[in-house]
Amino acid sequence: MLLTEQETLRRILAATETLASEEVPIAEAGDRVLANTLFARIALPAFTNSAMDGYAVIAREVGSGTRLAVVGEQSAGADQQLQVKSGTTVRIFTGAPLPEGADAVLMQEDAERSGDEIIVRAELQPGENVRLRGGDLCEGQKIGEPGMRLNAQRLALVASQGLSRVTAYRRPRVSVVVTGSELRKPDASLGPGEIYETNGIMLSELVRGSGGLPVHFSVAIRCNHSRRWSFSGRKRPGQTSSPKVRSGDCAVEGCDPSRETIPVWPTWS
């Protein structure tokens, strides 16, 4: 009886052991699988800041035609510890800490600058154009759990917490063995009945795209007068692998000895 795709996958996963974990630099953790739970230790944003280039103001004092004195300038970076009091404003830029006393940011397009003074051309509500501390992420919030694939966005989130290393599961090393006496490497000359081998590179990339490390054995060529096979690929020093992917088996019994040689295939461990 043929198994369904779902049942086949279930059986494979049930027989698959979880690999050991290791610490890796965050810069090398792309597409790795997280092995532990991570919690935020820094809020995002870490401080209340401006979402626009403009002027930090007290919203209730702002209306069309209002004049405000510019008492300082706050750019993104070090907090200048400026204050906004009644009748004043601070020139501010996107990402800059919101000065004490201000509760909104007037977009620069809605202000007319004249020396050390601005004339307001719009009305504002408290909180307008302001990003509040913790608005995206609070301390203690879960940001990762075992089994999570570390893509670009998740790595950026981890980096936002000041972490330089993460604990990830080791990548499985997978042997890719391609069989067929008619196969030749891309740089070889073709003889009658011969073709270039393509499955190896395809399978290796599929293994890599699934998070594995392929150990590619170029072509397994059948000997002419025996039922043994010689492997043209070689294991590199330090390489180990347990799972194996093979390509080229023959469906007709007797014409392909690879099935009989599977028990003696090296484990490369």
- pTM of this prediction? 0.71
Residue 13, classed as helix, strand or coil, is: helix
Confidence of residue 85 (pLDDT cuts 50, 70, 90): very high
Per residue in 154-204, pLDDT tens?
999 999 999 999 999 999 888 888 888 788 888 889 999 999 988 888 999
- pLDDT of 225 reads 46
Domains of the chain, first to last: 18-43+141-169 (3.90.105.10), 49-131 (2.170.190.11), 173-264 (no CATH)
Residue 68's alpha-carbon distances to 50, 96, 180, 246, in angstroms, are 18, 20, 82, 75
pLDDT for the residue 13: 86
- pLDDT of 142 > 50? The answer is yes
Cβ burial 160-179 (10 Å sphere, 16+ → b, else e) = bbebeebbbbebbbbbbbbb
Copy the structure tokens of residue 267.
């484990």
The string of pLDDT tens digits covering residues 102-124 is 999 999 999 999 999 999 999 99
pLDDT at 112: 95
Residue 34 has what DSSP assignment?
Answer: B
**Which of left, alpha, beta for 268 (phi over 0: left; psi -120 to 50: alpha)?**
left
Side chain identity, residue 248: G
Q: Which of 10-14, 116-120, 213-217, 223-227 has the highest mean pLDDT?
A: 116-120
